[in-house]
Structure 1
């Protein structure tokens, strides 16, 4: 291939430290109400995956939605040079994979800016106006249109009246100068941003508010992303074990604060690829947890132990913190000590496999 594939149809690339897959799936759910679309599979977002997608995009696809991952320098550039997007979304600039970028948020912002540099020069870009690190993105030479989303600052697509409701989130926003109410079947204020990006792109592409509302309502979240299980009448398990970075863990703790009932237990494991930010990132999560109404903190792995230290330093009772290095020991401890009227949040990087503990709990409860 001599140059990137360039399509006349909308080719949307989603980049960001968190929320890529959710944003992509929400947007796909909306566009699918009217169009046949091609979307990248799951979270398969490396340059090698993008190269495979190139041959799978057909003339009957009216739009293409791709997730462009970035765990190393140059990956977004390579993906853009395979399939050039004409619409770009940068969800946020956070600390995911920071260890691979010299431990620097500026390094991450600069590498994410490759989307802006290598997408269609006069294309359309969507940015998060509430994300302070997104201000580090290099937009100075971008010749296209920029739209913003937000919940706090003034934005082109701004959510207001954000509420936790049964089964998800509800919010209001203006489209075509009229206020509309939206519902997403997933918890968390951070997921409102993902919905706003999906709404913004769909609106730009001419979808009406009803199509957008219907599409968002039909969105189905992937497993292990704030998946809620109810064991009997009074035990709630929140499985958010697919991935983790400090902002994502804090967001998950917020969700537990809102939807949790009774005793609240946070089971937090190591966040991988944090590099020199390893100690500070884990400690910050512990400090944040200490400010929440959490009753017990069970940590997993070496990084998890640092979360525990951070929580204790911030005033969390030491006797309510326990560290584990074995999935079996953690699962057995929870099985022995779990009581009715309890909510348990599980959160760690994918490679920590905390989902094994979730599975053990679910299987045990099924048989009892």
Structure 2
């Protein structure tokens, strides 16, 4: 039954794309896909009508639903699916004047073959590869297989199409070299066509954010992204700029449009905590790579208070799980983080890594559940403390954010998932 549903969705989505002929911007990578999607959308909206995946609609169900313009899956509701199919037939049979000019489609790959399947539904005109990491390692077996899967998105491009690739990622060097389409690279290295530099966390008035220079073709634009923290947002902005420039926008237009960039929920967003503390909410997902990046953001934040980390499990790391968790623990000691809280069983290895690197046992706490960690932390926070909270989606670390946020009634608006209230 599930395969039959996938087939119907695929057929309907392909018919819609063939009817409306939107530009398709496809985004893949191990980390940074959603931030890139939001940055690309914020820029292109200045010139085009755009539509992008909502939530985590980046798989064999979510992607065709996005193409069909449906924001909610039918789940187990037969009548909801019936509505979706009727609506799809309606936009196929009758012209929808509001159908977008550009589709921005995040494409996830949990296992080999996923990218090939998704691009068979929506062939990209521009393909964006963000960065390669160890996510879903247990399903791929090796980093080389992950690179191969993500890079396979380029096989769908014609030589007149565009590949937009992270030029800072050494794992993608061969991909860039062998690319047959037109190409723009982005990142911090001077070899990149679209470059970012002087990235730092700064404060304008009462607003924290990320400032940097956006450089292209010998010109530069000073940038400030409010309420988001870290180089990864500057990197996302660079990917958005590269896509926009490939589509004919100019650098000034790009810089102005990026002021509208807002990070998706749970991606290094700053939230006010109890007792005048600050929370870095990075609870959407976690990998060794993104965890270390988040720790560097925390270390860079100017504060007279303590710097505290609450880590949940990093999932789907396969054979490298123990080693990867311990490496994160070592990193936080190198960055002189004051306290470590871990939630779950796998995250115990973060604690072990921190202890082995020299962190005192009285600064390390373990909890089996998020609510317990949040309640314990809430009692001990002080003014100006900064708390980084992060974990894989399955760890549901947003519950900890809820327990210590100053305005818990805004949870539905600010947090990535539902919480126990």
TM-score, normalised to structure 2, is 0.81
Q: Counterpart in 1 of 2:214? A: 173
Question: How far does the alpha carbon of each residue in 1:70-125 deviate from its partner, in whole angstroms, 9 at most, with x for none?
Answer: 112111111100010011100011111111111x1101001112201233454210
> Are the equivalent residues in 2 in contact too, given 1:47–1:68 (CA < 8 A)?
no
Which of the numbers 206, 219, 235 marks the counterpart of 1:193?
235
The alignment partner of 2:41 has SS state of helix
Structure 2 Cα separation of the partners of residues 19 and 303 of structure 1: 23
Q: Counterpart in 2 of 1:50? A: 63
> Are the equivalent residues in 1 in contact too, given 2:274–2:405 (CA < 8 A)?
no
Indicate how the Cα distance of structure 1 residues 105 and 130 shifts in structure 2: closer, same or farther if over 3 A, else same. same
Q: Counterpart in 1 of 2:417? A: none
> Are the equivalent residues in 2 in contact too, given 1:241–1:346 (CA < 8 A)?
yes
> Are the equivalent residues in 2 in contact too, given 1:3–1:81 (CA < 8 A)?
no
Unmatched 5+ residue regions in structure 2? 1-10, 70-90, 410-421
Give the CA deviation at 1:163.
2.4
> Are the equivalent residues in 1 in contact too, given 2:13–2:64 (CA < 8 A)?
no
Q: Counterpart in 1 of 2:380? A: 337
Q: Counterpart in 1 of 2:8? A: none
Q: Counterpart in 2 of 1:110? A: 148
Structure 1 Cα separation of the partners of residues 154 and 104 of structure 2: 16
The alignment partner of 1:268 has SS state of strand
Unmatched 5+ residue regions in structure 1? none
Aligned residues between the structures: 364
Structure 2 Cα separation of the partners of residues 117 and 37 of structure 1: 24
Q: Which has the higher helix share?
A: 2
Structure 1 Cα separation of the partners of residues 407 and 25 of structure 2: 43
Indicate how the Cα distance of structure 1 residues 355 and 84 shifts in structure 2: closer, same or farther if over 3 A, else same. same
The answer as to 2:275 corresponding to 1:238 is no
Q: CA RMSD in A?
A: 2.3
The alignment partner of 2:405 has SS state of helix
The alignment partner of 1:228 has SS state of strand
The alignment partner of 1:221 has SS state of coil
Q: Counterpart in 1 of 2:87? A: none
Q: Counterpart in 2 of 1:101? A: 140
The answer as to 2:343 corresponding to 1:321 is no
Q: Counterpart in 2 of 1:154? A: 191
Structure 2 Cα separation of the partners of residues 81 and 216 of structure 1: 31
Structure 2 Cα separation of the partners of residues 333 and 355 of structure 1: 15
The alignment partner of 1:159 has SS state of strand
Which of the numbers 110, 124, 129 marks the counterpart of 1:71?
110
Equivalent residues in 2 for 1:275-286, closer than 5 Å:
275-286=318-329
Give the CA deviation at 1:327.
2.1
Q: Counterpart in 2 of 1:119? A: 157
Question: How far does the alpha carbon of each residue in 1:15-41 deviate from its partner, in whole angstroms, 9 at most, with x for none?
Answer: 011111111111111111122112222
